[in-house]
Amino acid sequence: MELQLEIEPIESWGVNPERPLIISGPCSAETEQQMLTTAHALKESGVQIFRAGIWKPRTRPNTFEGVGSVGLKWLQKVKKETGMLTSTEVANVKHVYEALKMGVDILWIGARTSANPFAVQEIADALQGVDIPVLVKNPINPDLELWIGAIERIAGAGITKLGAIHRGFSTSEKSKYRNLPQWQVAIELRSRLKNLPIICDPSHIAGKSEMVFEVSQKALDLGQDGLIIESHPNPKVALSDGRQQLTPAEVADLLKKLIVRPETTNDEAFAKSLDELRSQIDLLDDEILEIIEKRMNVVKEIGKHKKAKNIRILQTTRWEHIIESAQENGSSKGLSDEFIEKLFKAVHQESINIQTEILNS
């Protein structure tokens, strides 16, 4: 269901209407020199907002936890010398007060913080009555309600310049990404909060500099409004996230290579063939649902048999057999193991639910 929050368009943040909006800068502020070198170079490529982490939430203690407040002066200098807007992450009330005092233009809430409603509420309370854009990163776990909840808390403080950042989600699955992108979750967010700008963070999704381009392009192809890309003059010696940062020259290159495709076209022949193909998809989707309904009817029969004989619902070897043969079959049809596993897990879970109901009826 669509939610009604007052959300202003991106231009209200003080940027020009060119899309995608590009935010870039180092994972962490390290030195004044590093900040200024990076900022001047990025400005040349049309970056409108400079990012730098001042306080860093690190997974393990005794690693670099950010330069702290001194870095805010460097952000001020970046703004003064380049005219770019500045942004940083805030994770508690002290960060909010210091960032506001030093004139940071845009704040973001990090993935670990947005997963914690107490922390988000404290930040929201500190922002009461302040007019500043606030971007909310997705929480590390793929829980759309938690993400929306964090956005609502910030909106509750009267903030109307809101945005979301999709930075991928933690996963225990083996994956080529550092943080698994869940495009579907971002799409669902867009349909729940229609006007909410969504920025993609390809750096934290990819985790590797060489994958940042493909994630960026995908985000644009899915209609996300902007990108936040980490950049460091010499990523090899960066104090945090060195593996995923691009040099400013690489950012310039990436921006040149990105293809910005329009959402739609006036070409009537194209619109007609797209409509035809979409109606084929709709018919096929109906057929999928009918087949699943038939499958579930068989599941119900099995459930009744099991109840009559009083045997348990799950036979582990049976499930292993289903998934193995589906993956074998699927791969001959060009379907990935990952997709087959997700699909069959969902179908199997529904089957278990149905049989549990029968067993307890």
Q: Which residues bind ligand PEP (CB under 6 A)?
A: 27, 53, 57, 110-111, 137, 167, 204
Shortest spacing between CB 38 and Mn ion, in angstroms: 14
Tokens of 84: 């770019």
Least distance (Å) from ligand PEP to the CB of residue 173? 18
Cα separation, 328 vs 314, whole angstroms: 22
Between residues 160 and 247, which has the closer beta carbon with respect to Mn ion? Answer: 247
Nearest to 46 by CA among 258, 213, 243, 245: 258
Residue 227: phi and psi, rounded to 5, are -135, 145
Q: Considering the complex, what minimum distance in angstroms separates the CB of residue 344 from ligand PEP?
A: 31
CB of 298 to ligand PEP, least distance (A): 45
Please state the closest distance from residue 46 (CB atom) to ligand PEP, in A: 21
Q: Residue count of the chain, please give it.
A: 361
Name which of 66 and 330 has its Cβ closer to Mn ion. Answer: 66
Binding at 153: pick from ligand PEP, Mn ion, none (beta carbon under 5-8 Å per type): none
DSSP 145: H
User: 23 to each of 49, 158, 186, how far by Cα in Å?
Assistant: 5, 24, 19
Distance CA 298, CA 318 (A): 15
Q: How far from 84 is each of 15, 39, 87, 269, 280, CA to CA, in Å?
A: 9, 8, 10, 43, 48
Q: Of 230 and 340, which has the nearer Cβ to Mn ion?
A: 230
Residue 89 touching Mn ion (CB under 5 A): no
| Residue 27 lies near Mn ion (rule: CB under 5 A) | yes
163 contact choice in ligand PEP, Mn ion, none (CB below 5 to 8 Å, kind-dependent): none
Binders in 239-268 for Mn ion, by CB under 5 A: 241
Binding residues for Mn ion (CB under 5 A)? 27, 241
